[in-house]
Amino acid sequence: MGAAKALLHPAAKPAVFLLALLPLVWLVYAAFTNNLGANPAEHLIRSLGDWTLRFLCLTLAITPLRVVTKTPALARFRRMLGLFTYFYVVLHLLGYAWFDMGLDLADIAKDIAKRPFILVGFAGFVLLTPLAATSFNRAIKAMGARRWQLLHKLVYAVAGLGILHFFWMRAGKNNFAEVAVYAAILAVLLGWRVVQFARLRSAGAPRASGQPPSRVRG
């Protein structure tokens, strides 16, 4: 009960917001104090990509945690974490466009088409954009709940593209340890949803008798 009250406290959302900004604050501080290693630009770009994956995992973890722990208040933070996922992927993309490509749009377009791992990462960004753009109550009302939920299932494709992007990026150095960790986490989170969906379909069987199925939002 104490944890639930803490999650519903007016200060909870601002606290989560500030915590979500800490990775960026640290990276900016490290950049100004020359603590980003021998290749600061590469370290910055890759760190922003790592935090994108981490926030994606956190966003997808909200619903399972809410259901398993029976803590509905956790849902208050899902939208914010999803928007921070987009925030960090935008910074990741901007870092690549600025530090690697000098903001030359023609070169960026050629590079995206030429290198599969960048193409896959950019595709993930493109799919994530409409999700961020419609993560507001007005968008839900305008689209209708069913269409909005259908659109936001694209997050599962984004997760797959994110892992593939990370895998191809690490393939050059044959270093897949971190990739395996993120892949395992996302597999568990998505697998939980598959199980819940199967249960929902099973619960929908009595509809012929006039009883509506229970609804579980993923």
Q: Report if pTM > 0.85.
A: yes
Q: Does any domain span residue 216?
A: no
The answer to whether residue 48 is domain-embedded is yes
What's the pLDDT at 216?
Answer: 34
Cα separation values, 60 from 20, 132, 155, 207, Å: 15, 14, 9, 29
Among 180, 187, 184, residue whose Cα is nearest residue 166: 180
Mean pLDDT of 177-181: 93
- pLDDT, one tens digit per residue, over 180-189 is 999 999 999 9
Residue 214 resides in a domain: no
Task: Specify if 135 maps to a domain.
Answer: yes
Count how many domains the chain has.
1
pLDDT value, residue 171: 84
Domain span at residue 106 reads: 2-203
| Domain-embedded: residue 40 | yes
pLDDT digits 0-9 by tens, 6-52: 888 999 999 999 999 999 999 999 999 999 999 999 999 999 999 99
Q: What is the DSSP letter of 37?
A: -
Please tell me the predicted confidence (pLDDT) of residue 215: 34
Of 77-86, 92-101, 200-209, the range with the lowest mean pLDDT is 200-209
